[in-house]
């Protein structure tokens, strides 16, 4: 077992036996396999871990707070009695800004990055605070001691939180604890254990096999004039709780051995994926052209009133940038609908387009099969949100507005030029355009939208008609552009 298998002991109810379970399980598990590294730590501040395991007056390596401040878990370890290694508890965890500001996966990430092996047991406080959330988030197995119906009802929050973190329901196991065997009931459930188990199953919770009985022996091992904590394994042999703990430890050992995917591995993968995503996004933002792809107006300037943005990116991802809403709408009306420029703001057609464009993708692609190189032809496609083509139009791509008037390049030519479509000789190259949500470049680039954009990009690429004729060479294209000059 190279990765640590993490067992978190948690219940929002206090005094149900969490700490007693944690410290004794550590001893029993170690006894089952001496060679298995066993690490224990507690977010509780009762220092039972130290009272049982500490040899002499050690300390000073740090404590569980270090898991939040970037210390390596292996550097915080203290080797204790019975071969159990532990990270010392802390009295001041909530004073640490790193704890208050931590996400729920801080400890899991710390364990994932560590060299810890074997089994890790985490004892928690009776609240679902950020420390408990961290302990749960790292867990392969969550042991929930329940001693009565209120503690059973309390489980709901733990289940909900674990579900939100993608921890499967079967990883959570209830364990009836502090069961007073003297109490008997009439009816189908004769004792508290049977009753709690039935309640649990009725609510869809899974239980560990067996239970831990309430025993005066255990109490005396935890509270005694010496102020120490003694393990049940060494000081309670022959008792029922000894047999119950041994049975529980065997179940956990089997579960740990049978574990195929460790939670810390999953967290590590998630972390890598997140890092890649962030890096990708950062790179995209760096690549983003600073001006509107049509009018060259800087996107750093405050957005024009009631103006949205369209986003355009080439299939090869080399060129990406924004188009101001007016610029793109003008293009569409002028070249696609062949309507004159006078179709200004407030026009119902324009409003209609504004509304329908939210559900559309637009693709611009040079018709590479054009044999007459004196003419450049552009195909303008419109797709729906599923990437299915709705309409298309072939447009002659002119370089200049008017042969006789000025030398201003047409907006469509400027767009095609800026997108690099003229230089890119690949027949598969196209520019995909989509209305974005925000009014500024940063707002308009949320991760989820971009993922959808790239997905549609892939679909559009397969649906654009494949042109069998060879692509014109770069020289042909620049000739074509030259011919278009007045």
Ligand X SMILES: Nc1ncnc2c1ncn2[C@@H]1O[C@H](COP(=O)(O)OP(=O)(O)OP(=O)(O)O)[C@@H](O)[C@H]1O
Piece of the chain touching ligand X by CB under 6 A; list 16-24, 277-285, 302-310, 469-477: 16-24
* 19 forms part of the interface with Mg ion (CB under 5 A): yes
Q: Is there a contact between 389 and 361 (Cβ–Cβ < 8 Å)?
A: no
Indicate the SS3 state at residue 394: strand
Nearer to Mg ion, 125 or 368 (CB): 125
What sign for the dihedral angle of Cα 474, 478, 480, 481?
A: positive
The interface partner of residue 241, options being Mg ion, ligand X, none and the CB cut-off 5 to 8 Å by kind, is ligand X
C-alpha to C-alpha distance for 486 and 478, rounded to whole angstroms: 15
Shortest separation between residue 51's beta carbon and Mg ion, angstroms: 12
Shortest separation between residue 229's beta carbon and ligand X, angstroms: 9
Q: Which of 102, 122, 172, 241 binds ligand X (CB under 6 A)?
A: 241
Nearer to Mg ion, 44 or 140 (CB): 44
Nearer to Mg ion, 177 or 319 (CB): 177
* 222 forms part of the interface with ligand X (CB under 6 A): yes
The interface partner of residue 101, options being Mg ion, ligand X, none and the CB cut-off 5 to 8 Å by kind, is none
* 147 forms part of the interface with Mg ion (CB under 5 A): no
What sign for the dihedral angle of Cα 23, 26, 45, 207?
A: negative
DSSP string, 163-201: HHTT--GGGEEEEE-SB-TT-B-SSS--BHHHHHHHHHH
- The secondary element (H helix, E strand) that includes residue 40 is strand 38-42
* Residue 342 burial class via C-beta count within 10 angstroms: exposed 0-12, middle 13-18, buried 19 and up: exposed
* 44 forms part of the interface with Mg ion (CB under 5 A): yes
Q: Is there a contact between 451 and 374 (Cβ–Cβ < 8 Å)?
A: no
195-220 burial: b if 16+ Cβ within 10 Å, else e: bbbebbeeeebebbebbbbbbebbee
**Of the candidates 452, 68, 84, 86, the residue with the CA atom closest to the CA atom of residue 76:** 86
* 218 forms part of the interface with ligand X (CB under 6 A): yes
Q: Which of 196, 208, 212, 397 binds ligand X (CB under 6 A)?
A: 212
The interface partner of residue 16, options being ligand X, Mg ion, none and the CB cut-off 5 to 8 Å by kind, is ligand X
* 13 forms part of the interface with Mg ion (CB under 5 A): no
* 329 forms part of the interface with ligand X (CB under 6 A): no
Nearer to Mg ion, 19 or 132 (CB): 19
Q: Is there a contact between 224 and 216 (Cβ–Cβ < 8 Å)?
A: no
- Looking at the chain, the number of H-run helices and the number of E-run strands are 18, 14
* 160 forms part of the interface with ligand X (CB under 6 A): no
* 16 forms part of the interface with ligand X (CB under 6 A): yes
C-alpha to C-alpha distance for 469 and 368, rounded to whole angstroms: 8
Q: Is there a contact between 109 and 274 (Cβ–Cβ < 8 Å)?
A: no
* 150 forms part of the interface with ligand X (CB under 6 A): no
CA 239 → CA 31, 186, 212, 427, distances in Å? Answer: 17, 27, 11, 80
* 50 forms part of the interface with ligand X (CB under 6 A): no
- Residues with Cβ < 8 Å from 176, sequence gap 6 or more? 145, 146, 147, 192, 193, 196, 197, 207, 211, 212
C-alpha to C-alpha distance for 167 and 127, rounded to whole angstroms: 19
Q: Which of 54, 173, 214, 242 binds ligand X (CB under 6 A)?
A: 214
Q: Which of 17, 73, 176, 308 binds ligand X (CB under 6 A)?
A: 17
The interface partner of residue 17, options being ligand X, Mg ion, none and the CB cut-off 5 to 8 Å by kind, is ligand X
The interface partner of residue 140, options being Mg ion, ligand X, none and the CB cut-off 5 to 8 Å by kind, is none
The interface partner of residue 344, options being Mg ion, ligand X, none and the CB cut-off 5 to 8 Å by kind, is none
* 144 forms part of the interface with ligand X (CB under 6 A): no
C-alpha to C-alpha distance for 113 and 118, rounded to whole angstroms: 15
* 15 forms part of the interface with ligand X (CB under 6 A): yes
Q: How many residues bind Mg ion (CB under 5 A)?
A: 3
Please give the residue whose beta carbon sits closest to Mg ion in the complex.
Answer: 19
* 63 forms part of the interface with Mg ion (CB under 5 A): no
Nearer to ligand X, 11 or 326 (CB): 11
Indicate the SS3 state at residue 325: helix
* 142 forms part of the interface with ligand X (CB under 6 A): no
* 14 forms part of the interface with ligand X (CB under 6 A): yes
Piece of the chain touching ligand X by CB under 6 A; list 99-107, 188-196, 207-215, 320-328: 207-215
C-alpha to C-alpha distance for 219 and 367, rounded to whole angstroms: 84
Angle CA(451)–CA(456)–CA(457) in degrees, nearest 5? 95
* 18 forms part of the interface with Mg ion (CB under 5 A): yes
* 19 forms part of the interface with ligand X (CB under 6 A): yes
By the criterion CB under 5 A, which residues form the site for Mg ion? Answer: 18-19, 44
The residue ranges that bind ligand X (CB under 6 A) are 14-20, 44, 126, 178, 212, 214-215, 218-219, 222-223, 241
């Amino acid at each position: 077992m190279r990765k640590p298998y993490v067992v978190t002991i948690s219940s929002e109810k206090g005094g149900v036996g969490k700490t007693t379970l944690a410290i004794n399980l550590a001893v029993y598990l170690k006894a089952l396999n001496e060679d298995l590294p066993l690490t224990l730590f507690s977010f509780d501040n009762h220092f039972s871990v130290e009272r049982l395991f500490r040899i002499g007056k050690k300390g000073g390596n740090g404590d569980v707070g270090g898991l939040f401040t970037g210390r390596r878990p292996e550097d915080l370890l203290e080797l204790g009695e019975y071969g159990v290694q532990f990270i010392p508890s802390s009295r001041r965890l909530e004073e640490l800004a790193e704890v208050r500001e931590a996400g729920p996966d801080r400890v899991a990430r710390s364990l994932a990055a560590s060299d810890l092996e074997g089994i890790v047991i985490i004892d928690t406080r009776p609240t679902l605070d950020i420390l408990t959330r961290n302990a749960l988030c790292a867990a392969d197995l969550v042991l929930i001691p329940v001693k009565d119906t209120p503690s059973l009802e309390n489980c709901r929050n733990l289940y909900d939180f674990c579900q939100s973190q993608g921890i499967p329901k079967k990883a959570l196991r209830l364990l009836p604890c502090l069961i007073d065997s003297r109490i008997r009931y009439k009816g189908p459930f004769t004792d508290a254990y049977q009753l709690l188990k039935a309640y649990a199953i009725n609510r869809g919770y899974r239980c560990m096999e067996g239970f831990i009985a309430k025993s005066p022996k255990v109490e005396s091992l935890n509270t005694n004039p010496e102020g120490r904590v003694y393990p049940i394994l060494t000081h309670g042999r022959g008792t029922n709780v000894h047999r119950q703990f041994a049975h529980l430890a065997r179940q956990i050992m089997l579960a740990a051995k049978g574990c195929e995917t460790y939670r810390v591995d999953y967290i590590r993968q998630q972390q890598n994926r997140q890092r890649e995503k962030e890096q990708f996004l950062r790179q995209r933002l760096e690549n983003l052209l600073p001006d509107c792809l049509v009018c060259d107006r800087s996107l750093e300037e405050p957005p024009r009133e009631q103006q949205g943005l369209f986003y355009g990116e080439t299939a090869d991802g080399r060129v990406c940038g924004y188009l101001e809403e007016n610029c793109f709408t003008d293009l569409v009306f002028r070249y696609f609908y062949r309507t004159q420029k006078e179709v200004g703001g407030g026009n119902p057609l324009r409003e209609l387009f504004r509304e329908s464009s939210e559900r559309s993708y637009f693709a611009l692609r040079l018709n590479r099969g054009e044999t007459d190189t004196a003419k450049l032809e552009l195909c303008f496609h419109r797709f729906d949100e599923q990437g299915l083509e709705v309409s298309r139009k072939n447009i002659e791509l002119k370089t200049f507005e008017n042969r006789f008037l000025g030398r201003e390049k047409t907006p469509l030519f400027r767009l095609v030029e800026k997108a690099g479509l003229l230089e890119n000789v690949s027949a598969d190259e196209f520019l995909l355009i989509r209305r974005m949500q925000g009014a500024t470049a940063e707002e308009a680039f949320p991760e989820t939208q971009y993922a959808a954009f790239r997905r549609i990009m892939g679909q559009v690429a397969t649906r654009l008609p494949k042109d069998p004729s060879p692509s014109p060479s770069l020289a042909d294209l620049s000739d074509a552009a030259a011919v278009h000059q007045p």
